[in-house]
């Protein structure tokens, strides 16, 4: 018989995360004191939960949120608190690992950090998963649902992630924040929030935060509109730069740091958005022009990499060895039917992106000719967000039917490309099928011609098989959208954005990677209050791993943002 180790229903406040923590507004000074006092009081007064001696065996798994059944977690992750979504009078949950067990009472199952650490340690020691049994009592009758397991991997995960929190809104932007979260605890703090430099007349958008090789001391993010510029923090020096030059489309947009050098490749984009009148996907974000630029942080010089206006180059990512920049690109030859942005709106389903790479010579800082790595357009698909595992073997990307901004596309899924086997493929020149007229009805509405073209592309694409070097990351995909993703520094975990919970709000999910291109069932970012994400009306944007916290305070960033931007100079190579 196992001996219950702990009988408390409340979280332990001790935190293994040794990082510097800044207060996040007034939470620390108000609620923590009150809640801690109340929690202690409740703990002291509450009865010890005990397992029922007799119960009925249920045949189903318990309905819990987040659904953690069968997931694999790193040993250093924060406790997987969950809420039982079934009505009952009393709830008791038993966790067991190795020879030990822990009993937790309450509908919100919150074992707390200390006990969670003991569970994961016991599971690792016993080479067995944590078993979870939920008991529910209703009108004196106890029911035990089918137990489920949580596997604990010895592969640790980077202690921090950064992300942007944004309401999935469309034009307005208040209360935008770049946040960091300790994955080992529930501590969340602000990197920078736009409201610190925003007033009624001057709004500010912040986006595209990115660190160099997980290093929080080497960070960049953009500030748009009011006090706009790109904030670059590099080993203690923080500056604001203006990357727009006369010879580039825009300032830098989607960034990728060189893995070691102070260089960043950006896409430059002319981006617009329009709104679906009926489709629940609601919004379409499109580039009408986009190119790539190279930026040297030390010399503050910008060099264009691609400039062809008939190609939309986007979402660059540097390979871990620094030899290539991978990116996606769509070909679009103007039809000149209407203004450029309207043309893109009309033919938005015909804009599709392939995966390319360009070799980079570190000595001369020059780029070679591009190579097509995956002809997604041939399959009537569109690729975006290539990200390479730190060992350089796997390239994960998001694929949908069209476009480049897949967070709004419910069909978007994650795919894996094995770079050890992938070879550049020959580029085929093909005309984009934009309209298929009906020969019997020359006056039919244009929209029908476009719909017929969409269908024809679909038929043609279905005949082209997926290359052998590519497979769907089916273990992590869902019927809803999967989009942004990033690799942990040991390549054993990926964190990715998904809208699987409600179709509208993006939540980060983490999955274990076996090194061979396959994953375990992903788990939603754990929260102290398990129902937090149900109430939370903001999306997580660009979740990225970091080796520690950003230590520059929001106020310090605010001071930098207030300064004039240092104008980057154009250097042609």
In the complex, least distance from residue 195 CB atom to another protein, rounded to whole angstroms: 4
Distance separating alpha carbons of residues 511 and 34, to the nearest angstrom: 36
Nearest to 189 by CA among 29, 13, 77, 23: 23
Residue 477 makes CB contacts below 8 A (sequence gap 6+) with 413, 414
Q: Which residue of 11, 93, 145, 177 would you call a contact of another protein, by CB under 8 A?
A: 177
Given a contact cutoff of 8 angstroms between Cβ atoms, the answer to whether 440 and 486 are in contact is: no
Q: Name the residue nearer to another protein (CB basis): 23 or 424.
A: 23
The candidate with the shortest Cα–Cα distance to 332, out of 307, 311, 355, 354, is 311
Q: Which of 174, 298, 391, 444 binds another protein (CB under 8 A)?
A: 174
Of 310 and 555, which CB lies nearer to another protein in the complex structure?
555
Binding of another protein by 199 (CB under 8 A):
yes
Smallest separation (angstroms) from another protein to the CB of 179: 11
Taking the least distance from each CB to another protein, the nearer of 306 and 527 is 527
In the complex, the smallest distance separating the C-beta of residue 46 from another protein, rounded to whole angstroms, is 19
Please pick, from the candidates 31, 43, 48, 299, the single residue that binds another protein as defined by CB under 8 A: 31
Stretch that binds another protein, among 4-12, 280-288, 456-464, 540-548 (CB under 8 A): 280-288
Strands (E), 437-552: 470-472, 482-487, 493-498, 507-512, 523-524, 539-546
Q: How far is the CB of 424 from another protein (least distance, A)?
A: 34
State the binding string over 525-554 for another protein (x if CB under 8 A, else -): ----x--x-xxxx---------------xx
Strand partners, 210: 220
Q: Which is nearer to another protein, 344 or 415 (CB)?
A: 344
CB of 284 to another protein, least distance (A): 6
- Map residue 59 onto helix, strand or coil: coil
- The token pair at 280 is 């629940």
- The piece of 20-28, 45-53, 454-462, 513-521 that touches another protein (CB under 8 A) is 20-28
- Smallest CA-to-CA distance from 113 within 27, 186, 33 is with 186
| Minimum gap (Å) between residue 227 Cβ and another protein | 11
**How far is the C-alpha of 293 from the C-alpha of 300, rounded, in Å?**
13
- Tell me how far, at minimum, the Cβ of 290 lies from another protein, in Å: 19
CA distance 270 to 286: 8
Q: Report CA-CA distances (Å) from 506 to 78, 281, 397, 538.
A: 20, 13, 17, 8
Among 47, 171, 459, 463, the residue binding another protein under the rule CB under 8 A is 171
Number of residues that this document lists for the chain? 573
Using CB under 8 A, which residues numbered 424 to 453 contact another protein? 447
List binders of another protein among 464-503 (CB under 8 A). Answer: 501-503
Question: In terms of DSSP bridges, do strands 56-57 and 141-144 run parallel, antiparallel, or are they unpaired?
Answer: parallel
Q: Which two tokens stand for residue 242?
A: 């203006």
Encoded one letter per residue, x for contact with another protein by CB under 8 A and - for no contact, window 321-360 reads: ------------------------xx-x------------
- Residue from 173, 263, 327, 493 in contact with another protein (CB under 8 A): 173
Per-residue binder mask for another protein (CB under 8 A), 35-74, x = binder: x---------------------------------------
Distance of alpha carbon 35 from alpha carbon 438, whole angstroms:
68
**Binding window for another protein (CB under 8 A); candidates: 47-55, 115-123, 161-169, 465-473:** 161-169
Q: To the nearest whole angstrom, how small is the minimum distance from the Cβ of residue 24 to another protein?
A: 7
Interface pick for another protein out of 111, 193, 304, 530 (rule CB under 8 A): 193
Among residues 88, 121, 124, 195, the one that binds another protein under rule CB under 8 A: 195
One residue of 4, 24, 464, 566 binding another protein per CB under 8 A:
24
User: Which residue is it, tokens 């754990």?
Assistant: 526
Q: Measured from the CB atom, is 214 or 557 closer to another protein? A: 557
Q: How far is the CB of 172 from another protein (least distance, A)?
A: 5
> What are 14's two structure tokens?
């001790």
* Residue 407 binds to another protein (criterion: CB under 8 A): no
26: exposed, middle or buried (Cβ count in 10 Å: 0-12, 13-18, 19+):
exposed
Least distance (Å) between residue 350 CB and another protein: 13
Residues 248-277 that bind another protein (CB under 8 A): 274-277
Does position 504 interact with another protein (CB under 8 A)? The reply is yes
Q: What is the DSSP annotation of 402-419?
A: S-S-GGG-TT-EEEEEET
Distance CA 148, CA 80 (A): 13
Candidate ranges 117-125, 194-202, 211-219, 329-337; the one touching another protein (CB under 8 A): 194-202
Helix (H, G, I), strand (E, B) or coil at 562: helix
Q: Which stretch binds another protein (CB under 8 A): 29-37, 45-53, 141-149, 428-436?
A: 29-37
Residue in 12, 169, 271, 489 binding another protein, rule: CB under 8 A: 169
CA 503, CA 480: separation in Å to the nearest integer? 6
Nearer to another protein, 27 or 146 (CB): 27
- What region does 336 belong to: left with phi over 0, alpha with psi -120 to 50, or beta? left
Count the neighbouring beta carbons within 10 Å of the beta carbon of residue 25. Answer: 10
Distance, CA of 75 to CA of 86 (rounded, Å): 29
Q: Which stretch binds another protein (CB under 8 A): 21-29, 289-297, 427-435, 468-476?
A: 21-29
Our CA angle for 276, 430, 452, nearest 5°, is 40
Q: What is the CA radius of gyration of the chain?
A: 25
- DSSP one-letter code for 425: B
Which residue is associated with the tokens 């740091």? 257
**Distance from first CA to last CA of the chain, Å, rounded?**
74
CB of 176 to another protein, least distance (A): 9
Q: Which residues bind another protein (CB under 8 A)?
A: 22-27, 29-31, 35, 167-175, 177, 190, 193, 195-201, 274-280, 282, 284, 345-346, 348, 447, 501-505, 529, 532, 534-537, 553-555, 558
């Amino acid at each position: 018989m196992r001996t219950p180790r702990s009988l408390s229903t409340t979280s332990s406040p001790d935190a293994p995360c040794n990082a510097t923590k800044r207060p996040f507004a007034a939470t620390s000074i108000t609620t923590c004191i009150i809640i801690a006092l109340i929690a202690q009081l409740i703990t002291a007064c509450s009865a010890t939960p005990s397992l029922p001696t007799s119960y009925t065996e249920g045949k189903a798994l318990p309905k819990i949120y987040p659904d953690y059944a069968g997931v694999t977690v790193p040993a250093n992750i924060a406790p997987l608190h969950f809420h039982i979504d079934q009505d009952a009078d009393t709830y008791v949950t038993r966790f067991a690992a190795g020879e030990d067990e822990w009993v937790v009472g309450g509908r919100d199952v919150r074992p707390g950090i200390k006990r969670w650490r003991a569970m994961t340690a016991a599971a690792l020691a016993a080479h067995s998963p944590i078993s979870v049994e939920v008991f529910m009592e209703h009108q004196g009758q106890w029911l035990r649902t089918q137990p489920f397991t949580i596997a604990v991997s010895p592969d640790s995960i980077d202690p921090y992630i950064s992300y942007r929190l944004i309401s999935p809104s469309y034009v307005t932007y208040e209360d935008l924040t770049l946040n960091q979260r300790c994955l080992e605890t529930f501590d969340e703090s602000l990197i920078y929030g736009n409201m610190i430099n925003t007033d009624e007349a001057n709004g500010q958008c912040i986006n595209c935060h990115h660190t160099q090789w997980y290093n929080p001391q080497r960070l960049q993010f953009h500030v748009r509109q009011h006090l706009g510029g790109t904030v670059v923090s590099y080993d203690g020096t923080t500056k604001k730069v203006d990357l727009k030059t006369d010879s580039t489309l825009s300032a830098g947009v989607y960034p990728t740091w060189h893995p070691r050098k102070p260089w960043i490749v950006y896409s430059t984009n002319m981006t617009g958005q329009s709104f679906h009148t009926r489709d629940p996907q609601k919004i379409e974000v499109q580039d009408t022009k986009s190119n790539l630029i190279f930026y040297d942080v030390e010399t503050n010089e910008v060099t264009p990499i691609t400039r062809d206006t008939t190609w939309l180059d986007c979402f660059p990512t540097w390979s871990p060895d620094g030899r290539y920049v991978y990116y996606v690109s769509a070909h679009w030859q103007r039809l000149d039917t209407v203004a450029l942005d309207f043309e893109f709106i009309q033919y938005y389903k015909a804009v599709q992106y392939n995966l390319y790479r360009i070799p980079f010579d570190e000595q001369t800082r020059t780029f070679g000719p591009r190579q097509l790595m995956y002809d997604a357009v041939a399959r009537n698909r569109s690729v975006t967000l290539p990200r390479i595992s730190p060992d350089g073997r796997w390239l994960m990307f998001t694929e949908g039917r069209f476009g480049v901004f897949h967070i709004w596309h419910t069909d978007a899924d994650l795919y894996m490309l094995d770079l050890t086997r992938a070879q550049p493929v020959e580029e085929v020149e093909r005309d984009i099928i934009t309209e298929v007229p009906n020969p019997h009805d020359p006056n039919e509405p244009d929209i029908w011609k476009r719909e017929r073209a969409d269908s024809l592309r679909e038929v043609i694409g279905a005949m082209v098989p997926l290359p052998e070097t590519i497979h769907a990351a089916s273990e992590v995909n869902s019927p809803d959208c999967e989009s942004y993703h990033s690799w942990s520094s040991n390549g054993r975990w990926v964190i990715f954005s998904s809208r699987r919970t409600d179709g509208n709000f993006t939540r980060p999910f983490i999955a274990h990677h076996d090194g061979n291109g396959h994953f375990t069932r992903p788990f939603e970012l754990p929260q102290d209050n398990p129902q937090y994400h149900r109430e939370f009306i903001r999306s997580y944007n660009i979740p990225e791993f970091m080796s520690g916290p950003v230590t520059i305070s929001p106020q310090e960033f605010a001071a930098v943002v207030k300064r004039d931007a240092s104008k980057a100079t154009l250097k042609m190579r």
